[in-house]
């Protein structure tokens, strides 16, 4: 007996194509936004009727009730930061009348981003949060007109309103300052990947602190992709330079790779080289030697993100949030250099 194929349900993209408008315009019509011209709204409603399109929670949305849903688009990764931000935001939302619903990107592409946001819009979310601290997300947030508040977590406050984040510049400064205060002449930085707002901010903090002390700023020749493997590869090169006595890695995973490479080359940590990481992973206090690291308060970041959402959904125009400060957890991977240098 032949298997009957299921009929594909029409999507918001189908409605947009039929009406000759963007999916953002369709979303605004569904949410009864007054910003859509009457003739355009009529065309969209006709397309909805012709296609039989019914978004989830459509009855509540068309009745102008509130879904109390916050849509979160995040990158499907095992990286510590995005995971912790998502958990913190969920915990903060549960202390309010809102709940979050998540759509996951599996690749950092414009197509995946649009699909993830489209899923959220069809759920009738009242706001969208992007937990993808990459420059492509900043461009998307600036250029897309979703008809809803769009908050970027770990974005660049100088380029984007409705941004909440950790003060990564300050974190880079305190990591570098700690090594200089121990007596190291300068600090080498193993940077995160290009295009990541967090990586760029940590580079800025490192450079600002060296300049404030009047110290040499080493060329930014070493970097990685946040992985321990990439840190190891940078460490292999750095281990050959006897003048390197202090290294600040952009995250703990890369710091672990650096330490492994230094140990293989016979460079002792911290006797020969001090190493500082960033993130303060739960495992960082149990490695050999325990890692000095910059700690981020993800709980506070979640609370500030939720507070900003409540303010903008309450009608406040362009609310802002202060960056969450970092702190340094000092452990055994850092020490004064064996021979002080001027």
Q: What is the pLDDT of residues 194-244, one digit of tens each?
A: 988 899 999 999 999 999 999 999 999 999 999 999 999 999 999 999 999
**Residue 121: half-sphere exposure toward Cβ, Cα within 13 Å:** 26
CATH code of the domain occupying 1-65:
1.10.260.40
Contact yes or no for 163/156 (Cβ under 8 A): yes
Global pTM?
0.78
Domain with CATH 1.10.260.40 in the chain: 1-65
- Topology of domain 168-296, CATH: Rossmann fold (3.40.50)
- Cα(277)–Cα(190) distance, integer angstroms: 10
**CATH 3.40.50.2300: which residues of the chain?**
168-296
Question: In this structure, are strands 222-223 and 246-249 parallel, antiparallel, or unpaired?
Answer: unpaired
The 10s digit of each residue's pLDDT in 98-157 is 999 999 888 777 778 888 888 898 888 999 998 877 777 767 767 777 788 889 887 665
Are 82 and 75 spatial neighbours (Cβ–Cβ below 8 Å)? yes
Enumerate residues 6+ apart whose C-beta is below 8 A from 198: 81, 133, 154, 166, 168, 192, 250
Measured at the CA of 308, the angle between CA 125 and CA 315, to 5 degrees, comes to 70
Closest CA to 191 of 215, 172, 178, 210: 172
Mean pLDDT of the chain: 87
Classify residue 35 as exposed, middle or buried by CB count within 10 Å of its CB (0-12, 13-18, 19+): exposed
b or e along 249-264 (b: 16 or more beta carbons within 10 Å of the residue's beta carbon)? bbbbbbbbbbbbbbee
């Amino acid at each position: 007996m032949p298997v009957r194929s299921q009929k594909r349900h029409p999507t918001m993209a189908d409605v947009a194509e039929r009406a000759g408008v963007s999916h953002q315009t369709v979303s605004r019509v569904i949410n009864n936004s007054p910003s859509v011209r009457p003739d355009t709204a009529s065309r969209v409603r006709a397309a909805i009727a012709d296609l039989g399109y019914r978004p989830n929670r459509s009855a509540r949305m068309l009745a102008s009730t509130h879904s109390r849903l916050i849509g979160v688009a995040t990158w499907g990764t095992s990286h510590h930061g995005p995971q912790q931000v998502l958990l913190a935001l969920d915990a903060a939302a549960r202390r309010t009348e809102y709940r979050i619903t998540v759509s996951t990107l599996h690749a950092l592409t414009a197509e995946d981003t649009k699909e993830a946001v489209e899923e959220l819009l069809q759920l009738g979310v009242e706001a969208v949060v992007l937990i993808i601290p990459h420059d492509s997300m900043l461009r998307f947030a600036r250029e897309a007109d979703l008809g809803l508040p769009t908050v970027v977590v770990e974005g660049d406050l100088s380029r984007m309103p409705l941004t909440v984040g950790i003060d990564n510049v300050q974190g880079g400064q305190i990591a570098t300052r700690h090594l200089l205060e121990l007596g190291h002449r300068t600090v080498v930085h193993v940077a995160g990947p290009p295009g990541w707002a967090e990586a760029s901010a940590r580079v800025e903090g490192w450079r600002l602190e060296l300049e404030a002390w009047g110290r040499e700023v080493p060329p930014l020749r070493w970097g990685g992709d946040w992985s321990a493997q990439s840190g190891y590869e940078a460490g292999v090169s750095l281990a050959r330079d006897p003048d390197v006595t202090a290294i600040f890695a952009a995250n703990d995973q890369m710091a672990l790779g650096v330490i492994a490479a230094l140990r293989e080359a016979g460079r002792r940590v911290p006797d020969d080289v001090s190493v500082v990481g960033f993130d303060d992973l739960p495992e960082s206090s149990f490695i050999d030697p325990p890692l000095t690291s910059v700690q981020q308060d993800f709980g506070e970041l979640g609370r500030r993100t939720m507070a900003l959402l409540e303010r903008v959904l309450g009608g406040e125009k362009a609310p802002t949030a202060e960056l969450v400060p970092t702190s340094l957890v000092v452990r055994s991977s850092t020490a004064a250099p064996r021979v002080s240098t001027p």
